[in-house]
Copies of this chain bind each other. A is one copy, B any other.
């Protein structure tokens, strides 16, 4: 596990996981994200984790169970609560402008993606093939987060800062732009040379111009 995935430890260390369980999960994350869930064998995970094959099944009834044990925390404990907390904070702090909020947001998201590359890759790869995961994701991110975000958008619309079109459209556009940048930067072409500060700045400009009232 490289530097990049620092949060992972936070996710899986503090819990009531034993040392072996942690090793298994770490190994599984690494391998799943490299080769995909279906192409990863439990024996490979066992070897990489330094445990016996049987040990995996003592802790995770099934290979799929292991996948779910990996994905659930990101979705339900990390993404959702994270965002939600932030959103509350946002509403409390009352960022004066949508732009301020977005800047906080984008920083936040970038940090998250940076620290969880492997996990996010797994999430993206496996969601389409596992209905439970999809539901988990849609319910948490798709519904709760999206809804709150919409309220926020409305709030800034009422303040006259951003155009008054259906807030859902604002939100989707905002997410498109941010995720588009983050995905290109960290998932698709992580090895290209990037000028992070400038790129973010430009992206913010284009996004804000597109949304600002007037």
Contact = CB atoms under 8 A, between A and B. Distances in A.
Contacts of A202: 165-166, 169, 173
Contacts of A175: 180
A91 interface: no
A15 interface: no
A35 B166 CA distance: 36
Interface of A: 35-36, 38-39, 121, 125, 128-129, 142, 163, 165-166, 169-170, 172-173, 175-177, 179-181, 184, 189, 199, 202-203, 205-212
7 contacts: A38-B38, A125-B128, A142-B189, A166-B202, A172-B184, A173-B177, A176-B184
A182 to B, nearest CB: 10
Q: Chain copies in the assembly?
A: 4
Main secondary structure of the interface of A (DSSP, over half): helix
A55 B165 CA distance: 56
Contact of A172 (B129, B179, B180, B209): B180
Contacts of A173: 177, 180, 202-203, 206
Which of A128, A189, A207, A212 has the largest count of B CB atoms less than 10 A from its CB?
Answer: A128
A181 B172 contact: yes
Contacts of A208: 210
The 3 closest A-B pairs by CB, nearest first: A176-B180, A210-B210, A38-B38
